[in-house]
Amino acid sequence: MSTRLLTLAILFLLIIGFSFSGQAQRSNRNSLAAVTMPQADSPKLVVGIVIDQMRYDYLTRFWDDYGDGGFKRMVNEGFNCKNNHFSYAPTYTGPGHASVYSGTTPAMHGIISNSWYDKNTKKPVYCAGDENVKPLGSNGIEGQMSPHRMNVTTVTDQLRLHTQNNGKVIAVALKDRGAVLPGGHMANAAYWFHGSSAGNWISSSFYMDKLPDWVLQYNASKEVEKYKKPWNTFKNIGSYQESGPDNTAYESAFNGEAAPVFPHNVPALWEANDSFELLKFTPYGNSITTDFALAAVEGEQLGKDQHTDFLAISYSSTDYIGHKFGANSKEVQDTYVWLDNDLERLFTALDSEVGVGEYTVFLTADHGAVHVPAYLADNNVPAGYISSAALRGELTKFLQFKYGNTALLENISNNQIFLDHDAVANLGIKQEEIQEAIAQEIISYPSIFRVYTASQMMRNAYADGIPRILQNGFHQKRSGDVLFMFDPANISYPRTGSTHGSPLTYDTHVPLIFFGKGVRKGATYERTRIADIAPTVSSLLGIAFPSGATGNPINSVLK
């Protein structure tokens, strides 16, 4: 064969080879696209459950007392994130709910506490308060609520946007902030419980012009009144070996009660404890929430069409009871056993109304809780109490001594110090200079563990540890000039009951369980964050992430 013919033959073979290679690559790309394109197989209903003040160890500590259909069903059939944490402080209810549903932290979503000092109006503001809306179902400020102070969208907002408002979003909680913030800006409705002498579920004109008929009928039925009964333990109190004695110095009794012991005679204590408000401090508050959530499923026909709906439930009684009786009390243990029964009741109803395997649930908490410091101290664990008034007094003395002006101090709240910037400027002092002087002063005070200035928060990008957690909770426009942290297990609180708010693990480590359609069965000890929840749910639904999301989908959760 001549050289010319050989060259032509080689060129022909190369052309054929490239042609087949290109076809193969296109074929592979098409096959890959067919595999990875999202399928229209979303759950009919997503149920988000936030349990107020649930430490992670309440899941493991009380495990043997739980039935098979509540917490255990979620763990055994779903995916358990065992090392799940909040990545910011302060760890309170408002920021917790906002973070779960927005997929970010207070530095982005702006809900820096339940209430905070507003530097513009020079007065405290409430995270869900809105004087521009009208109450529905009540005549007072308890109904003037909206999410207008939250700066970003939520996963519930994104569902509404994705479905052209066809997917319904209903949020339910005893606490207004536990419903308003999860519902987001576009919820069909958020409902919260007005106790006192009313005992009704209410809302605001932010969501609708009037309460739906099914809500009016529910309130008129007086269904809540069946819970005006003694609070007895769900199981024999002798079986509750995972908590302390029934009567301790670390608990507080109800008004009119001789001691904080079972049974708590709710009817006899009714008037002295503000009537229906008393039910919030019993497991019956969670049962009332479950009853109303199930009424919402029926009344709104959730999970009944081709568009995914979202039901956000927050269980608030766990927090009221934890604050009153403490993390090691028989009351807290019994409350979680009652709640486990309510969860089983919820899931059983959803199996029937929506269909087994047709809904998806996530369960987490808005924060944990510290053991009562007096109890810890009695067991040789370093712990204590701090007087906020004494701290303010010492700081006022310092400002008078150093600058001759106590008016420089405007407010101390949420472990933050707010200065009068105009007064500081009039003295010719730089903001950074006075912040640093105050930081150097208060770090010398007893029980103050860490101090950071706003200038440090804005100038540095902390990678991890306490500084990073505080920075995630620092909002440049809303937070104070100096941030401080108490010693571990030191709190500014009465000597009975548990509280929360710190960046330490007893407040940051909370459950996170996914269960239902689209969720793998399994568990992980890898660290996950509260901010990962909304991106995970968004990925499951194939919708856009919330606008300020900084978390990531938890890959191991999703099928």
Distance CA 483, CA 391 (A): 13
Distance CA 328, CA 532 (A): 30
- Report the Cα–Cα distance between both ends of the chain, in Å, rounded: 60
Q: What are the DSSP E strand ranges found in 17-168?
A: 45-51, 79-85, 115-118, 123-126, 135-136
CA-to-CA separations, 317 to 51, 277, 370, in angstroms, rounded: 9, 11, 17
Helix crossing, 213-220 with 284-299: angle to 10°?
140
DSSP string, 364-390: EES---PPPHHHHHHTT---EE--HHH
- Tokens 């809780």 identify what position? 369
- Report DSSP state, residue 488: T
Distance CA 369, CA 318 (A): 11
Q: Which helix (H) or strand (E) holds 181?
A: helix 176-183
Distance CA 159, CA 187 (A): 10
- Tokens 């101290």 identify what position? 377
Spatial contact of 513 and 81, defined as CB atoms under 8 Å apart: yes
Q: Which helix (H) or strand (E) holds 322?
A: helix 317-325
User: What is the token pair recorded at 121?
Assistant: 């109006």
The one-letter amino acid code at 284 reads Y
DSSP string, 206-273: TT-SS--HHHHHHHHTTGGGGG-S-B--SS-GGG-TTS--SS-TTS-PPTT-SSS-SSB-HHHHTGGG
Distance CA 91, CA 214 (A): 35
Distance CA 169, CA 454 (A): 37
Distance CA 434, CA 180 (A): 38
Distance CA 213, CA 559 (A): 39
Among 3, 36, 93, 163, the active-site one is 93
* Residue 93 is among the residues annotated as catalytic for this protein: yes
Q: What are the DSSP E strand ranges found in 88-162?
A: 115-118, 123-126, 135-136
Spatial contact of 118 and 411, defined as CB atoms under 8 Å apart: no
Closest CA to 453 of 416, 413, 405, 501: 416
Q: Which residues are catalytic?
A: 93
